[in-house]
Amino acid sequence: MTTRRHFIWLLPASGAALLAACSESAPPPAAAPTAQPVPASPPEAPVTAPAQAPAQTPSATGPMVDATEPTAVALGYVTLASAVDKVKHPNFAEGSACGNCALYQGAVGSAAGPCPLFTGKQVAAKGWCASYVKKTT
């Protein structure tokens, strides 16, 4: 007959035996993955500063704006300020022309030059449009 004292005495021994039995039947641990040689990475290209885009300068050699093209018509552009329809453009002031407009990008005294309203083209220095802004300097 097993007494309680005897059972308690047997418990650690049976637990150890049980652990030993379990560890023997357990599958062997998986082999550690072998380290694969890492291919050498290609040499990095030297870091260089990104090429800067050339500064955007208005073209002084673009084609002349055609007064009949849609943008020109919409702005009331004329190649000769004296030809402005003063009824249609009552804000026109005598003496105003592309050549003395703040948006005109041609050289002083030039016959024609770029205007940001007509990208890539030139307006006549003696021309005018409804977007005229008097040059202050």
| Contacting residues toward ligand SF4, per CB under 6 A | 77, 98, 101, 103-104, 115, 117, 123, 127-129, 131-132
Q: Whole-number minimum distance, CB 135 to ligand SF4, in Å? A: 9
For ligand SF4, which is the closer residue by CB, 21 or 133?
Answer: 133
Q: Whole-number minimum distance, CB 111 to ligand SF4, in Å? A: 13
State how far the Cα of 103 lies from the Cα of 122, in Å rounded to an integer: 12
Tokens of 80: 């000769």
Q: Whole-number minimum distance, CB 49 to ligand SF4, in Å? A: 36
Q: Whole-number minimum distance, CB 115 to ligand SF4, in Å? A: 3
For ligand SF4, which is the closer residue by CB, 41 or 68?
Answer: 68
In the block, tokens 């993955």 appear at: 33
Nearest to 115 by CA among 123, 124, 126, 107: 123
Cα 110 to Cα 27, 57, 62, 64, 114: the distances in Å are 93, 17, 14, 13, 11
For ligand SF4, which is the closer residue by CB, 110 or 131?
Answer: 131
State how far the Cα of 55 lies from the Cα of 4, in Å rounded to an integer: 97
For ligand SF4, which is the closer residue by CB, 2 or 124?
Answer: 124
